[in-house]
Structure 1
């Protein structure tokens, strides 16, 4: 049986640059709208406009049974939340996942934003720290791609970073890392092989070499890692009701190094603390 290689050619890597940038533009359009009083459906509409304006389409809408451009998850919802008439509130922690398909190639990325609330400064600080830990672990994983031999090194780096941040201020216990939901390859489809675990596993995983493109996306909670799927059959929430955070970037490995396809600067700012300089896809 024919099996498509998980490794892209240089021409295919170049084709993945634009969908990555379109995905980034959609999230840039959403970010300033994540504020109290805004409905999550408004975020969805803004993302869709940004994608269509660039001549692309939402790859989320191509997923069977899903009809929106983004997933938006609030507070105890970690991933796969459905946009609705829900009105965002001061202090909410909001994760937005988005993707675009352009000329048959895909981008996928996610951000987390905490809405200010001066009346609950402690809560906001806890949620901002959760987001910081999650984002930092993502960059730690991406940075490891520059020297990793196998994808298992990426998962180990993510887990090591999270554990090094200490305990959650909410529970006094280590932060939770979702085990059932992981990163993935990306290319002609939004979700392809191989899997990218956000924790250490016995399996070394796929070889990291030029042509590999993966979406690295740690999902971290302020409490336990156990989750359940809500009655809408999509939204993943924590069983213990603690907050979740989700960050994601699509990353390409090529002959010159690594490049974050869903960051306009290729990941330069996020990778700088790790001593890694991204190299554009040529």
Structure 2
């Protein structure tokens, strides 16, 4: 059995003496998957991502990538990890060709030809300065540079948050194509749950600095359902995640093994990803 792409054990980051941005984070993420990372603002998503790329040091716990401890203080420790930030930071006065040459000098395995081909296919001129690009073009160039590093794990922090729908679709299409073409695992933080549902096969949900939900997307959806029936006291409901009540009816989101039988007085309905995520974030 192959080692997971990423494993964390009781990972935590504290600011000051008592403020924990992330705590007791234990995860095991499979290779070759696109993993969606969701959570409200302040849930700990960016803290987790910055720990994984070495911008922060953990207060407690440990990180392994592909079976080896993460050594963020050594160049080879981060060589297998690529990163695209939310604002797609690029040197604004550099042309795209300048950025490719710069990337080649910083990364010994940098695939200049592949990155050049990526931007040319999108009809982005190589002599255009980064500061003159649209938001969608900047995102595509940032992705091309990250992929040219030839990482095994690609970390994306809200990469499409500021993009219009067409630019988001193009970015996601390029991302899915990259995963299909190479040995690549992606950890993708996003608030756009509907787009995550289209591209992700694994999900991690953070709430108040802790992991509330993690697993294969299909398994998580199959293991939750909505029960609709007469208004009901929820004290004796096993696996209750969230409840809403009308004058005569209750809607109960429950987590139970797939195939488990519910009382016949309840109507059972499948749960969508957005409904599932919102329920966990609100409770």
Task: Please state which band the TM-score falls in when normalised by the shorter chain.
Answer: under 0.3
Write 1 or 2 for the structure with the bigger share of strand. 2
Rg larger in 1 or in 2? 2
TM-score by length of 2: 0.26
TM-score by length of 1: 0.27
